[in-house]
Amino acid sequence: MKLQIPFLPKVGVMLLLGMVLVACGAKATTPASTQAPAEAARKALEAYFSALSAGRYTDTAALYGGDYQVLMDNNPAIDPNDHAALFHNACQINGFVCNLAIKSYVSESQPSEVEFVFTVEFQSADGNLFSLGPCCGADPTEMPPVTQFEFHVQVVNGNYKVMDLPVYQP
């Protein structure tokens, strides 16, 4: 025997369900949803530095969306399309500091719908604040140490990509 539900209660259930769905839809447009892109950009930046630190250069290259010219210039014997090998040499030979973890976010901004700018401080392997000292024979008064670094993250073809190479230490 099949249980029959009168028409009116079905309509009431449908109206109630419709109101719930509309209410849920209204929540999706609240300011909290505007935080999702910045969070995704932050996670991409953290994944980039995590991959660099772990020596996962194929992953690093997948998270990088910037220019490879500097890496190609430093490594003319490497195929310019072998981005993982270019990152390997950058970190192991060319003086880029790749074993850093983000210690803190100093500031962040979103200049456009697809671009995020983060100023970060790094933690060295020993747990201390990373400081890039004076370069090339300069003394600290002429060239004070740098502890804050700016990185750009952009949405490229629907993916968050870091546009800057790691810190370079000559």
Residue 112 sits in a domain whose CATH number is 3.10.450.50
CA distance 114 to 65: 13
pLDDT at 94 over 80: yes
Greatest C-alpha distance within the chain: 93
Query: 42 in a domain, yes or no?
Result: yes
Residue 30 lies in a domain: no
Q: Is residue 108 part of a domain?
A: yes
| In-domain check, residue 55 | yes
Local confidence band at 6 (pLDDT 50, 70, 90 cut-offs): very low
What is the residue range of 60's domain?
36-168
Highest mean pLDDT among 22-36, 37-51, 136-150: 37-51
At 170, the pLDDT band (50, 70, 90 cuts) reads: confident
- Considering only residues 110 and 28, tell me which one the structure prediction assigns the higher pLDDT: 110
Let me know if residue 85 belongs to a domain.
Answer: yes
pLDDT digits (tens, 9 = 90+) for 57-75: 999 999 999 999 999 999 9
Weakest-pLDDT range from 6-10, 17-21, 33-37: 17-21
Residue 111 in any domain: the answer is yes
Count structural domains, the chain.
Answer: 1
87-95 contact pairs (CB < 8 A, 24+): 87/52, 87/57, 87/60, 87/61, 88/55, 88/57, 90/165, 90/166, 91/52, 91/55, 91/57, 91/166, 94/168, 95/168, 95/169, 95/170
In a domain, 5, yes or no: no
What pLDDT sits at residue 136?
A: 72
Tokens standing for residue 157:
């073809």
Q: Is 107 a domain residue?
A: yes
Instruction: Show Cβ contacts of residue 101 under 8 Å, excluding neighbours closer than 6 positions.
Output: 49, 50, 53, 122, 123
Q: How confident is the model at residue 11 (pLDDT cuts 50, 70, 90)?
A: very low
